[in-house]
Amino acid sequence: MRLPFKMTLTKRIWLSFAFLECVIGLIILSVYPYTIQNTLKENTFRTIEVQQLLNFQGIVGGYGVDNPGTSIHNYDSTRSVWTVLVNKKFQTLVGILPSDGSILKQMKGQIRHQKSVLARYELKQNDSTFYIVVRRSSDSYLISYMRDTYNNELRNNLWSRLIFTFAMASILSLFLAFWLARYIKRPLDILGRRFKEISRLNWEKPFEWKGDVEYERLSAQFEEMRLNLIKYDQSQKVFLQQASHELKTPIMIVQSYAQSVKDGIYPNGGLNDSMDIIIKESQQMEKRVRKLLYFTRFDSLGDKQMRYSLIRFGDLADLVRERFITQRADIEIHVGGEDTLIYADQEQMQTVLENLVENALRYAKNNIWIDADGSSRYRSLINVKNDGPEIPEHERKAMFQPFQKGEKGQFGLGLAIVKRIIHNHHGVIHVANTEDGVVFEMTLPAPPKEKPDNGSDTLNEKD
C-alpha cells in the first residue's frame, strides 16, 4: 500500500513510538481495570476473614463477639468489619445485623442456600458495596460484613495517577524518539554524503566509523566497496592502455604502408605485396577487436545470458579438431572421452576449446590431446594437452591475466577469455607442466540428474 506522504527515517521512528504507545494504552485500558478491581476485592475479603477470626472469641458456655465501638452500632462506617452470630432461623444470637432491609433481605437469600463451610458474598447498594464472609456450622452462621466505598475511591485514584504517568511517559518518549532519530540518522547522513562523492568519481578519501557495531560493519562494507571501485577503475585504465597499445601497432603499419603506396613507394616488393601487408594487418586488427569485444562482453554480462544444455563432448571436440587440423599438417589432434556428457553453454565451451587448441598449436611438437572424464558424480573433467616445452613458473602464474602473452603469443586475451568462461560455469582451470608437455585442466559441475527442459541431449553440428 502506498502512503499518502513520503516516509523518512524520522517519521518511521515517530510512528513506531506512537504505535507502541497506542498498543500499551489499549493493553492498560483492557487489562488494568479488571486486574485492579479483582486485586482490591481479594484484599478486602482476606481482611474480613482475618478480622472475623479475631472478633470471634469462644467463651465457656456461649459465644462472645468483639465488634468495633461500644454503644452505637454504626455499620455505615467504611473499612470496619462487623460480626454477628445467627441461628438457622436467622435469629441474632450475638451482635447486630444491618438495619437496611434490602441488604438484610439479600443477605438472607444468599446464606440460606450456602452449602460450603466458608463462603464470600458481594452485595451492591447505591455507590457502595457490602462484602460478606459467612462461616456455616451445624446450627448457626457466623457472619462478618463490611460496607466499603474505599475500593472505588482507591481504584479511581490509581486510575487517574496511571493516566497522568502514561501521559508523561508518552511526552518523554517523543523526545526520546526525536533524539533516537537524530542519533541513527547522523552516520547515515555522513554515509550518504560519501556516496554522493563517489557518484562524482571522488573515491580517494577513506571512510571509517567508530562506535556501534552495526555502523562499524556498514562502514567496513562501504570501505570494501570503495577499494573495489578504485581497483576496478585502475584495472579499466590499464585495460584501455593495453588495448590501445595492442591496436596501435597494426594501425601504424597500415597507415605507413598506405601512405607509401600513395607516394608511389613500395617498402615490401611491389604493389601487391604492400597491399597484402595492409590486408594482413587489417585482419589482425579485426581479430584483436573481436577478442576485445568478446572479453568485455563476458566481463559485463557474466553468466546472465548463458544457455545451458547437455553436450556430448565428442561432438564438440570433433568440431574444434576439424577447424584446426589443417593449420599445421605436422600436428595430430587426438580426442578422448567422446561419450562424456557435460552441462554447459555450447557456444562458450566451443570458444574455450578453440582458444586452448589454437594456443597449443603454437607450441606443440607433434601431438595435441583433447580429453574429458565424466565418471565422477559431482564434477566433469576436461583436459587439453600438448607435447610442447614447459611453461616457466613466472609465466604460468600470470598467463590467465589479460594481455599476458607467452613467447609465441599473439593478443594475450585468449586464455583470459577461457578463464572467464570457466568461472562463469562455476568451474576452475589451471595449467601444469608434465613430463612430456603442458596440460590445461578444467573442472566443471557434473550434469544435473534430471534432464533439463531448456536444452537438448547432445550437440548437433551447425549447418
Tens of pLDDT along 114-123? 888 899 988 8
**CA 231/CA 237 separation, integer angstroms:** 10
pLDDT-based confidence at residue 427 (cuts at 50, 70, 90): very high
Per-residue pLDDT for 247 more than 80? no
Please, is 164 exposed, middle or buried when counting C-beta atoms within 10 Å of its C-beta (0-12, 13-18, 19+)?
Answer: exposed
Which of 101-115, 233-247, 346-360 has the weakest average pLDDT? 233-247
**CA 440/CA 442 separation, integer angstroms:** 7
What pLDDT, on a 0 to 100 scale, did the predictor assign at position 70? 40
Q: What is the mean pLDDT of the chain?
A: 77
pLDDT one-digit tens code per residue, 40-64: 888 888 888 888 888 775 433 344 4
Average pLDDT over residues 423-446: 90
Using alpha carbons, select from 156, 167, 160, 155 the residue that is nearest to residue 24: 167
**CA 380/CA 260 separation, integer angstroms:** 55
SS3 256: helix
CA atoms within 13 A on the CB side of 397: 2
Strands (E), 116-173: 118-125, 128-136, 140-148
* Number of residues written out for the chain: 463
Q: What is the 3-state secondary structure (H, E, C) of 282-298?
A: HHHHHHHHHHHHHHHHH
Strands (E), 354-436: 367-373, 379-386, 428-434
Please, is 323 exposed, middle or buried when counting C-beta atoms within 10 Å of its C-beta (0-12, 13-18, 19+)?
Answer: middle
User: Which helix or strand (DSSP H or E) is residue 175 part of?
Assistant: helix 150-199
Q: Sheet with 428-434: list strands edge to edge.
A: 332-336, 367-373, 379-386, 437-445, 428-434
Q: Which three cell numbers stand for residue 351?
A: 570458444
Q: How many CB atoms lie within 10 A of CB 312?
A: 19
pLDDT one-digit tens code per residue, 186-238: 777 777 787 787 777 777 777 777 766 777 777 788 788 888 887 777 767 76
pLDDT-based confidence at residue 463 (cuts at 50, 70, 90): very low
Per-residue pLDDT for 26 more than 70? yes
What pLDDT, on a 0 to 100 scale, did the predictor assign at position 72? 41
What pLDDT, on a 0 to 100 scale, did the predictor assign at position 371? 93
**Are 459 and 315 a contacting pair, CB within 8 Å?**
yes
pLDDT one-digit tens code per residue, 291-340: 776 666 666 555 556 788 999 999 999 998 888 888 888 889 999 999 99
Per-residue pLDDT for 73 more than 80? no
Average pLDDT over residues 9-29: 76
User: Which helix or strand (DSSP H or E) is residue 21 part of?
Assistant: helix 9-55
**CA 411/CA 429 separation, integer angstroms:** 20
Per-residue pLDDT for 455 more than 50? no
What pLDDT, on a 0 to 100 scale, did the predictor assign at position 213? 73
Strands (E), 228-324: 308-312
Per-residue pLDDT for 382 more than 90? yes
**Are 402 and 242 a contacting pair, CB within 8 Å?**
yes
Q: What is the pTM of this model?
A: 0.47
SS3 84: strand
Locate cell 586475451: which residue? 413
